[in-house]
Amino acid sequence: MAQYPKGVLELFPDNHRKPFAPTAESPILDEPWRELQWGKKQEDLRYVQEYKPAQDDIKYLRVLLYGPVGAGKSSFINSVSNVIRGRMSNIALASAMTSDISFTRKYETHKFIKGRGSSKTFYPVVFNDIMGLEEGDNRGVHENDINLALRGHVKEGYKFNPVSPLTEGDPGYNPTPSADDKVHVLVCVMSINASQIKSSVLEKMKNVREKASELGIPQMAMMTHIDEVCGEIEKDLRNVYKSKHLRKKMKDFSAAVGIPMNCIFPVKNYSEEIDLKDDIDTLILCALRKMIDFGDDFIEKF
């Protein structure tokens, strides 16, 4: 078994790049363990595009993405934009390189354009991307900054400082957040291709989840890079819920972070593609619909 330094949790212990030994057992199930209606992209897309928040005084349903560095948060925002707008776009800067340093540096709201020219508006679902979680007290986003963002106290454009988290009275602090400023859904983004996660990062994730639970904010998780961890999914994305390997990874993640399986959704972000693919869109829309449903239920309680 691989030996990891002290303070490292081997989250996905069999994610090591070794040739698979031939076995008689099939890597995929005969029937999917979770049902997903393929070929109904337009129906799902209309659901998302026609959504309006339950409360009239709330203009946008706000989704906050958090997770370790390199999980694919910014790439997911771009992928959502692609699906909603029906073309490739790039609204959130994302790094194409594997790195242990977060590419996101400031708190920014990403909106999705609806229409063109003088009639241009925005869809009522917005995403906030934040600096990635990293090991140590002086690296990555500080969990206190995430807690303040949940309650709407972080101003647009605030630059994250791992050494000195935001406090009341700072220029980036919003003392009087509106219902629109507050987070309505918290989404953990994790690469299923990761073989390990630092225990200190996992502890930060736990603290963020506990704070969101105190506030009653619904929580979900998304597993990215699913095509990189299973050859059957790489061959055909529709094998996603037939893959035994993926199901085990999702169960491992659920046990590690405490998010129920029915709140975890595998997705493939757009990366190499230059045109939209219906099967990629279907997985993204499935996760997006649940974000809207969970967030709207929370908004109704305001």
Per-residue pLDDT tens for 215-255? 999 999 999 999 988 899 999 999 999 999 999 999 998 99
Query: Is residue 68 within 8 Å of residue 197, measured between CB atoms?
Result: yes
Does residue 51 form part of some domain? Answer: no
Nearest to 93 by CA among 67, 70, 75: 75
Residue 24 confidence (pLDDT): 60
What pairing do the DSSP bridges indicate for beta strands 264-266 and 185-191? unpaired
Residue 9 confidence (pLDDT): 56
Residue 238 confidence (pLDDT): 97
Does residue 42 form part of some domain? Answer: no
Rounded to 10 deg, the angle between the 41-49 and 278-299 helix axes is 30
Tens-digit pLDDT profile for residues 40-79: 999 999 999 999 998 988 999 999 999 988 889 999 999 9
Instruction: Confirm whether pTM is higher than 0.85.
Output: yes
Does residue 22 form part of some domain? Answer: no
CA distance linking residue 216 with residue 298, whole number of Å: 8
CA distance linking residue 288 with residue 286, whole number of Å: 5
Number of domains in the chain: 1
Does residue 77 form part of some domain? Answer: yes
Residue 97 confidence (pLDDT): 45
Does residue 239 form part of some domain? Answer: yes
Does residue 83 form part of some domain? Answer: yes
Which CATH number goes with the domain that contains 62?
3.40.50.300
Go through the chain and tell me how many residues it has. Answer: 302
State whether residue 172 is helix, strand or coil: coil
CA distance linking residue 65 with residue 242, whole number of Å: 27
CA distance linking residue 66 with residue 290, whole number of Å: 17
Instruction: Give the structural domain span for 140.
Output: 57-299
Does residue 256 form part of some domain? Answer: yes
Does residue 87 form part of some domain? Answer: yes
Nearest to 243 by CA among 29, 25, 99: 29
pLDDT along the chain (302 residues), means of 10: 54 56 77 95 95 92 93 93 91 55 75 86 94 78 92 94 90 96 97 80 91 97 93 95 94 91 97 94 97 96 83
Residue 66 confidence (pLDDT): 94
